[in-house]
Amino acid sequence: MAIKKGTSIRVKLTITFLAVILLLVTAIFTYQLYDIWKDRVKTTIEKEKLFVAEQSAAVSDLMSTDDMSAVKTFAVQLKKSSPDLAYYIFRDRDGKIFEHSFKGKIPAELKKVGLNPEETVQELAIKPFGKVINISYPLASYGIDIYGTMTAGFYKVSFLDILKERSMVIALFYLATLFIGLVVSMAISSRMVEPLNSLMSGIEAVGRGESDVRLPVKSSDEFGKIAVVFNETLDKLREYIQTDEERKKVQENVIKFLEVVSTAAEGDLTVRAPVTADVFGSIADAFNLMVDELSFLFKDVRNTARSVGEESFRLLDMLKKMADGAENQMVQLKGATEAVNGTVDATIKISDETGEATEISVRASEAASKGGELVNQSIEGMKVVRATVQTINKKMKMLAERIIEIGTISGLIAEVASRTNLLAMNASIEAARAGESGKGFVVIAEEIRRLA
């Protein structure tokens, strides 16, 4: 954005300081001139009073001789004797006007002035003279015989008259003041603008993208405070930039962590969450530890199930063999029984068939011998069955122990699930603390809870 060029602050400050100095000098000079004017007015009034008193004495002397023509002649010469005299009025002891300097009628403001034969001084506004100092003085001979009053009006000394008299001095004084004030103003404005220029340089540097700018704090005034606030603002800006970068990194870590959690929730426990230095580092570490424990437990359960399956197959094979042996023994026992029955039948027939007794006896002996062998085989088979049953008991005992181990593993799995729920709860708490930037924690908490 283009910035319009205008009057610099240094020029404005110089003009302001110069104007203040000139105003101050003008006020001082005006006060002095006013004081001079007041003194001049007082001095002039005293001179005019003395003038009126002298002229009144002269007129009183003329009136004591009753020479009124001489009084009129004196009155005509009176106005020429003082350039500040505006008018004069002479009254007799009865207050009647017998001589004045007006060409026409006397102004209404003066008709009642000078009626009393006493000295009075007053300021009046009379047309066309403007403001005048009106002085009334008694006409008396040696202060005893009063002939009347003399009233004279003098132009009041104006303030402009004093300025005109001292115009040259005022001009020279103002020129000197202007020069000195300009030098002082430029020095002061330069000193005041110096920290402002430093501030502008810092702001321009920040505008160019430089964030490592530091303003020197050389004073404790407002400019020093501005420099301190500017430096603090830059520090906060740098922290905000770092925080924004960290926020982006956290968002990336959240996305990666969610991908890992989703993959683990689908059954792939070989994935691991990257452990970072931020707040997700502890969560990722705990998640990896949980996945490691789950992998170990699932592996242990798989091995245990495989062992139980193998032992079950062995047990079934042994039971099958035992069934086959028992079936053979039953066949052999059945043969032995039939042989014994044959022997009984042969013995019965001995009484009938004596000739065949020997042969039958031999057969009986052989049958008895076979029966004994079968009995022995049955005994051996029973021993085998007994041993097999004992083995089965041992296998069943081992199977029970495996089942107990499976129960323990199930308890560990339940504990891991509980820890996972606790981890999800901690993630939810962290999300609540993080506020708006912790929405990723909520998603992570839901994924971990679903995994649990």
Q: Is the pLDDT confidence value at 46 over 90?
A: yes
Q: Are residues 306 and 413 in the same domain?
A: yes
What CATH number is given to the structural domain containing 50? 3.30.450.20
141-172 confidence digits (pLDDT tens): 765 678 889 999 999 888 888 888 888 888 88
CA 310, chain centre distance (Å): 70
pLDDT at 403 over 70: no
Q: Are residue 276 and residue 394 in the same domain, yes or no?
A: yes
Give yes or no: residues 376 and 228 share one domain.
Answer: no
Q: What is the pLDDT of residue 401?
A: 75
Closest CA to 153 of 242, 221, 78, 222: 78
Residues 165 and 238 in one domain: no
pLDDT at 208: 74
The predicted pLDDT at position 407 comes to 65
| Most confident of the ranges 76-85, 305-314, 437-446 | 76-85
Kindly give the pairing relationship between strand 145-155 and strand 130-141: antiparallel
pLDDT band for position 129 (cuts 50, 70, 90): confident
Stretch 424-450: mean pLDDT: 68
Number of domains in the chain: 3
Least confident of 11-15, 30-34, 246-250: 246-250
Q: Is 174 found in the same domain as 241?
A: no
Same domain membership, residue 93 and residue 56: yes
Domain end residue (candidates: 128, 157, 179): 179
Is the pLDDT reported for residue 357 higher than 50?
A: no
Q: Are residues 268 and 376 in the same domain?
A: yes
- Higher-confidence position of 263 and 123: 123
Evaluate if residue 412 carries a pLDDT over 90: no
> Which residues are CB-contacts of 123 (< 8 A; sequence separation ≥ 6)?
131, 132, 133, 134, 156
Evaluate whether residue 187 is within a structural domain: no
pLDDT at res. 344: 44
Q: Does residue 184 sit within a domain?
A: no
Whether residue 332 is found in the same domain as residue 202: no
Residue 1 covered by a domain: no
Claim to verify: residue 443 and residue 312 sit in the same structural domain: yes
pLDDT at 134: 93
Instruction: Write out the residue range of the structural domain in which residue 141 sits.
Output: 9-179
Position 378 scores a pLDDT of: 52
What's the pLDDT score for residue 410? Answer: 62
In a domain, 300, yes or no: yes
What confidence tier does 348 reach under pLDDT thresholds 50, 70, 90? Answer: very low
Contact between 165 and 172 under an 8 Å Cβ cutoff? The reply is no
pLDDT of residue 152: 92
Q: How confident is the model at residue 234 (pLDDT cuts 50, 70, 90)?
A: confident
User: In this structure, are 348 and 239 located in the same domain?
Assistant: no
The answer as to whether 368 is a domain residue is: yes
The answer, yes or no, to whether residue 135 has pLDDT greater than 90, is yes
Q: Is the pLDDT of residue 395 over 80?
A: no
Report residue 199 as tokens.
């501030």
Mean pLDDT of all residues in 290-317? 67
- Say what percent of the chain tops pLDDT 70: 60
- Rounded Cα gap, residues 452 and 430, in angstroms: 19
Higher pLDDT, 447 or 14: 14
Instruction: Judge whether 326 lies within some domain.
Output: yes
Instruction: Write out the DSSP string of 175-226.
Output: HHHHHHHHHHHHHHHHHHHHHHHHHHHHHHHHHTT----------SSHHHHH
Confidence of residue 50 (pLDDT cuts 50, 70, 90): very high
* Top-ranked range on mean pLDDT: pick from 87-101, 217-231, 378-392: 87-101
Residue range 88-104, pLDDT digits in tens: 999 888 888 888 888 88
Domain boundary among 156, 179, 202: 179
The continuous run of DSSP H or E covering 66 comes out as: none
Tell me the average pLDDT across 352-356.
Answer: 52
- With respect to residue 288, please indicate whether it lies within any of the assigned structural domains: yes
Rounded Cα distance between 122 and 154, Å, is 11
For the chain, the average pLDDT equals 74
Residue 202 confidence (pLDDT) above 50: yes
Q: What is the pLDDT of residue 57?
A: 87
Q: Give residue 371's pLDDT.
A: 54
What is the predicted pLDDT for the residue at 279?
56
**Residue 282, Cβ neighbours under 10 Å: how many?**
14
* Bigger pLDDT: 334 vs 279: 334
pLDDT at residue 184 is higher than 80: yes
Burial annotation 414-433 (CB, 10 A radius, 16+ → b, else e) = eebeeebeebbebbbebbee
**Same domain for 364 and 395:** yes
Give yes or no: residues 92 and 240 share one domain: no
Residue 255 domain flag: no
User: Stretch 94-119: mean pLDDT, rounded?
Assistant: 86
pLDDT band at 239 (very low <50, low <70, confident <90, very high): confident
